[in-house]
Structure 1
Amino acid sequence: MVGSFLLRALSGSQGWTNYPAHAALEAMGCLAGIAIACFILILLRNLEIHRRYIWIAAGLTAMGTLDGVHALMEDGGSFVWTHSLANLFGGLLFAGVWLPARFAPPRRYAGWVVFSCFTLTGLVGVLTLHLGESLPPLLRGGVYTPIASLLNLTGGVGFIATAAYISLRSRSISPIERLVFSSHASLFGIASVMFEMAAPWDAAWWLWHGLRTAAYLVAFAYFIDLFQRQLRTLKTTEARLNHALDTIFETTQEGVLFVDHFGLVTSANPAACEMFGFGSEIPQGLSPARLLPNALSTASHLRPDTNLQAMRLDGSRFEVELSQTRLRAGGPFSSFITVRDITERKQAERQVLHLIEKLQSKTVALEQSNAELDTFAYVASHDLRAPLRTIQNAVHWLEEDLSPHFTEDTRDTMNIILRRTRRMEHLLEDLMLHSRIGRTEASKDVVVGTELVDNIRALAMRREGFGLTFDAGFDSIEVQKLPLLHVLLNLVDNAIKHNDAPTGTIALTAREGRDTIEFTVSDDGPGIAEKYQARIFEMFTTLHPRDEIEGSGMGLAIAKKYASVSGGTIEVFSQGRGCRFTVTWPKPKSLPQAMDKSA
């Protein structure tokens, strides 16, 4: 402003009318403004500045477009109109940065916003040029009219407001960018506000044109430098990436064959050279079809089936997986083929398939063996029980016919025979049951804990002086009824049968875990010595003579097998008198749908 006053004071009313110089300044401003708008769009796309700066890009485009039209004009009504409208549109659009962020167009539409401003202001400029002297005059007798002052003052206020926003509130750009943008907007604002202080073509008029153009060029020079620095950074990054790709290319275990535009292999990585036996140089005129017979549908295009055989230069073959990548036109290669040697994998797959076939054949044989075992167990049980019943019937007939002639020794002998035959019969039944565990489908009936308690009370052995107790843990559980009921009944019956006292109590508890339920069966009987605790789960094992306590010796073996095939466990603990069996049983959701038939 001081410069304007000084120039007007020194030069007076003298002016320098030079349309070519004026057109050159306006044209530089036009090109610089549109270029800066494009730079801002790039920064917006890269998320380096806030999307509010779309308004500045739009303002620069509008000003640049009208300045370009203004550069084509000579003195007249349209001459001042285009300059004033450039200031008005530019200032108003610049001031859009003060709007809330929700009013800023999305980044993906930034290009369309700028293009729309270019189109609309271009139409306004052409319309102004066409109307010419029919427009209201903005200059009378060398003095600007109120309309001209209003247009330029409004635009100037918008520019100054934008400079204030960038200086005080913008934190999305660097300090140097803040300085460039704020200075740029400030110069535009001052030039617009002081517009009416200069007469056309006088020294002050040329000064503000020069400063306005300088503002364009300074911002343009800054963005050129910025993009040169980014270009250098990109080149450095590209060099590093190329080095990394070269390292990968040289060290990868997969072969890579590069095919030129004539369909010939002209380059390969070390892995491919070793894979195909190239040595240090690739043979001249080598076609991919020579290395990949039956793999190409044309001279250099792979078939859909990419799991094929490749051929080395010595004629030997190996199994490979192939993939082809087409390259963009312009380079020395049309595509590259990636080759993976899968010979070892295929051999391993064949070995696995062979093992699976052997396992399937053994499974079939095992199923046949199980079926034969079932048949044998049934036949053996049936054939062995028939003579036992004959013996039992014979003893009963002898008692009926010769009872008056029996002595005491004879009666004892007859009783021993009956007990032994019944024991043998029970043993056969238990043996049959044991052989079928794990080869029959598991029961899917689920019961609540209280129903399980009722079943145990109803089915447990009766002995005077003995009672059962159940803790509150049974009230909140759900279990698969069988074979758990059989296991718990077996433990309860054992505790009652082997107790050497006239009275006793068997206590059962249930404790729910995450995936299992833990049951305990405790008694106050004679206990089990530590050296026998592992043996009691074996078949045909009893700790007392069978003539003292009747039993087959199969009960705990059956319980153990039930627990094992159901995914549970059973353990015993005893020190001195008393014994505690702990059964861990899966919850219904954790139980298998069927017991493992190969157990």
Structure 2
Amino acid sequence: MIRFATPVFDGAGRQRGLVVLNYLGRRLLDRISDLAGASRGQVWLIDRDGYWLIGPTPRDEWAFMYPDRRDRSFGHAYAAAWQRIAGGPPQGQFVEDGDLFTYSRLAPFSELLGKDGEPATRPPLLYLVSHLPAPVLTAPGEALAGRFLAAAAVLVLLLGAVSIVLARSGSHRRRAERRLRASEARFRALVESAPDAVVIIDTDGRIVLVNDQAERLFGHSRQLLAGQTVELLVPERYRTGHVGHRSGYLDQPRVRPMGAGRDLQGLRADGTEFPVAISLSPVETGDGLLIVADIRDVTDEQASERRIQELNERLTLDNAELETVNRELEAFSYSVSHDLRAPLRAIDGFSQALLEDCGEQLDEEGRGHLNRVRQAAQRMGLLIDDLLRLSRVARAELAPEAVDLGALALEVVEGLRSASPERAVEVEIARDLTARGDPRLLRIALENLIGNAWKFTAGRTPARIELGRCEQDGKPAFFVRDNGVGFDMTYAGQLFRAFQRLHDARSFPGTGIGLATVQRIVHKHGGAVWAEAATNEGATFYFTLESAIRPGRLDPAGEAPSATT
């Protein structure tokens, strides 16, 4: 449920009740719960502070409402994953500590109407997260390349041994025989040490040699296998075809996998079948051509592939469900826009009508109460407008081009001077403040940064604002500096969170959305934003843009020549 409220006072100024607007979100929560039930992993709904709204257990959900359960949150249980989600792009997928996380930021107010009837949006304050634990993703199996290397080593040694025998004759025969026997012993040792089953056959298809792994895999002893045709290890329904394939291989013997693109089956002594992967290598010897077959049981590998395929299909379905949920949220936002704005307009309008029609019958205190009701309704409307702008920024597509930030800043300052002609503010804007970005979004960022500097220098004589350029870790950065009231750096971590304010709203009005909007714009441009300040000593806000264009020449202080307005 989303709830908005405004107090109601009687003629004596006593609070008599609340005007409350409720929007039920149960249908949305039930839909996400259905997603979690259908998934092999878990599907969670998380708020902007990292708390579960839909979580692993009922006790984990809405824990921020219970003092004894404040530590039961996604941000606490999966701190590293939460850091990547909260600081990452609007949606993504990654592996953390062996677990697979897939997430998407949700913008519940994405289609509300903003000022002048134009579409506007609110910030993504919810996260839909799919969690697949490590055991689901674990895929047993060894690398095929390692096994092939062992078989290749065997073949090279065998070829070398046979070549030595053929090269020796006469008085060297007995020495050659001794070396051959030693080589054969080494060859057999290597065959035995191979991690896969090795079966060596001659051109007639009869088994010459097998290793211990082959005995274990097929359940036959090597004494039984010696001299048998290799079709003994092939299921009966494939034997006739296998003889033809074997003959075809002998016509063009080369190193290659057997049965590429087909599912191969091996036959055990007990009659059971199992999937195999086979690589073939021809070896020329003094006794003629031999074929070395490296045979690997791929039962676990195929099971893993099936699991991966199932996971991919599940992820595809989950993504489709996420798109559906997002569309429902957009429809929900549009509905909320109308559901909230109409009552707010009614509260403001009827309060104004009451003042105009019955104001003379009310005393000063009564008129003051009605004005407070109107102000509360208008502030709620402004808050909704700011939220919609923030969400619109988060979802906007970039249209990058070369942008002169200095020119944009001049336009912003001129607007501020027109709105507050009584203010005397010294504004210094450096030259060559050029970057590549979306001019509309960058103007919004400057409006918020310069607007904040303008607001928080009220009462300063003289008031000064500076827009310039500097270097940060060898990369160009921009800054907006003022000599205003500043702030305590202890609370700097709250600056860019929506609704967070470090100053009294009565002294410095605002909704707490501006810096959150700046951060989202800078992040969309691949940059970063941060601040340095001290209480009553002003503040400096820095930001970088991925495609900032270096000026032709910087002065020793790191800034181009400036202009003062």
Structure 1 length-normalised TM = 0.52
Is 2:373 aligned against 1:427? Answer: no
The SS at the match of 2:466 is strand
Q: Who is 1:267 aligned against?
A: 209
Q: Who is 2:511 aligned against?
A: 552
- Would you tell me which structure has more helix in proportion to its own residues? 1
Cα distance change on mapping 1:551 and 1:306 into 2, 3 Å: same
- d(CA) in 2 for partners of 1:324 and 1:299? 12
- d(CA) in 1 for partners of 2:204 and 2:283? 14
In structure 2, runs of 5+ residues without a counterpart are 1-169, 171-175, 250-257, 550-565
The SS at the match of 1:296 is helix
Is 2:518 aligned against 1:542? Answer: no
Give how far 1:367 is off.
1.7
- d(CA) in 2 for partners of 1:308 and 1:482? 61
Give how far 1:519 is off.
2.4
User: Aligned ranges for residues 197-216 of structure 1 at < 5 Å?
Assistant: none
- d(CA) in 1 for partners of 2:405 and 2:243? 70
Q: Who is 2:486 aligned against?
A: 527
For residues 503-538 of structure 1, give each alpha carbon's deviation from its aligned partner in whole angstroms, at most 9, with x where no partner exists: 422222234779965222222111112332222333
CA RMSD, aligned part only?
Answer: 4.0
Q: Who is 2:291 aligned against?
A: 335
The SS at the match of 1:322 is strand
The SS at the match of 1:491 is helix
CA contact 1:569–1:584 (8 Å) conserved in 2: yes
Give how far 1:253 is off.
1.8
Cα distance change on mapping 1:351 and 1:333 into 2, 3 Å: same
Q: Who is 2:438 aligned against?
A: 480
User: Aligned ranges for residues 142-161 of structure 1 at < 5 Å?
Assistant: none
CA contact 1:318–1:343 (8 Å) conserved in 2: yes
- d(CA) in 2 for partners of 1:455 and 1:351? 58
Give how far 1:285 is off.
4.7
- d(CA) in 1 for partners of 2:266 and 2:454? 77
Cα distance change on mapping 1:443 and 1:460 into 2, 3 Å: farther
Q: Who is 1:507 aligned against?
A: 466
Q: Who is 1:489 aligned against?
A: 447
Is 2:534 aligned against 1:575? Answer: yes
Alignment match of 1:362 (pick from 312, 318, 336): 318
Give how far 1:310 is off.
2.1
Q: Who is 1:171 aligned against?
A: none
Higher-Rg member (1/2):
1
The SS at the match of 1:586 is coil
Q: Who is 2:557 aligned against?
A: none
Q: Who is 1:322 aligned against?
A: 278
Give how far 1:553 is off.
2.1
For residues 407-439 of structure 1, give each alpha carbon's deviation from its aligned partner in whole angstroms, at most 9, with x where no partner exists: 543443343333222211111122233445544
Q: Who is 2:80 aligned against?
A: none
The SS at the match of 2:336 is helix
For residues 169-228 of structure 1, give each alpha carbon's deviation from its aligned partner in whole angstroms, at most 9, with x where no partner exists: xxxxxxxxxxxxxxxxxxxxxxxxxxxxxxxxxxxxxxxxxxxxxxxxxxxxxxxxxxx9
- Letter matched to residue 232 of structure 2: R
Q: Who is 2:309 aligned against?
A: 353
- d(CA) in 2 for partners of 1:522 and 1:247? 76
Cα distance change on mapping 1:306 and 1:573 into 2, 3 Å: same
- d(CA) in 1 for partners of 2:454 and 2:369? 28
Give how far 1:291 is off.
2.0
Is 2:389 aligned against 1:447? Answer: no
CA contact 2:455–2:508 (8 Å) conserved in 1: yes
Is 2:247 aligned against 1:288? Answer: no
- d(CA) in 2 for partners of 1:297 and 1:514? 69
Cα distance change on mapping 1:537 and 1:478 into 2, 3 Å: closer
Q: Who is 1:344 aligned against?
A: 300
- d(CA) in 2 for partners of 1:236 and 1:445? 79
- Letter matched to residue 216 of structure 2: E
- d(CA) in 2 for partners of 1:521 and 1:289? 80
CA contact 1:254–1:338 (8 Å) conserved in 2: yes
CA contact 1:297–1:303 (8 Å) conserved in 2: no
CA contact 1:515–1:586 (8 Å) conserved in 2: no
- d(CA) in 2 for partners of 1:481 and 1:350? 48
CA contact 2:406–2:431 (8 Å) conserved in 1: no
Higher normalized contact order (CA 8 Å, seq sep 6+, divided by chain length): 2
Cα distance change on mapping 1:455 and 1:292 into 2, 3 Å: farther
Give how far 1:385 is off.
1.2
- Would you tell me which structure has more strand in proportion to its own residues? 2
CA contact 1:522–1:580 (8 Å) conserved in 2: yes
The SS at the match of 1:340 is strand
- d(CA) in 2 for partners of 1:514 and 1:281? 72
Give how far 1:550 is off.
2.3
- Letter matched to residue 495 of structure 1: A
- Letter matched to residue 193 of structure 2: T
For residues 60-115 of structure 1, give each alpha carbon's deviation from its aligned partner in whole angstroms, at most 9, with x where no partner exists: xxxxxxxxxxxxxxxxxxxxxxxxxxxxxxxxxxxxxxxxxxxxxxxxxxxxxxxx
Cα distance change on mapping 1:316 and 1:241 into 2, 3 Å: same
- Letter matched to residue 265 of structure 2: Q
User: Aligned ranges for residues 51-62 of structure 1 at < 5 Å?
Assistant: none
The SS at the match of 2:242 is coil
Q: Who is 1:298 aligned against?
A: 244
Aligned residues between the structures: 361
In structure 1, runs of 5+ residues without a counterpart are 1-227, 229-233, 590-599
User: Aligned ranges for residues 49-198 of structure 1 at < 5 Å?
Assistant: none
Cα distance change on mapping 1:318 and 1:575 into 2, 3 Å: farther
Larger deviation, residues 361-370 vs 539-548: 539-548
- d(CA) in 2 for partners of 1:261 and 1:534? 76
- d(CA) in 2 for partners of 1:244 and 1:478? 67
Is 2:353 aligned against 1:397? Answer: yes
CA contact 2:209–2:222 (8 Å) conserved in 1: no
Cα distance change on mapping 1:298 and 1:538 into 2, 3 Å: same
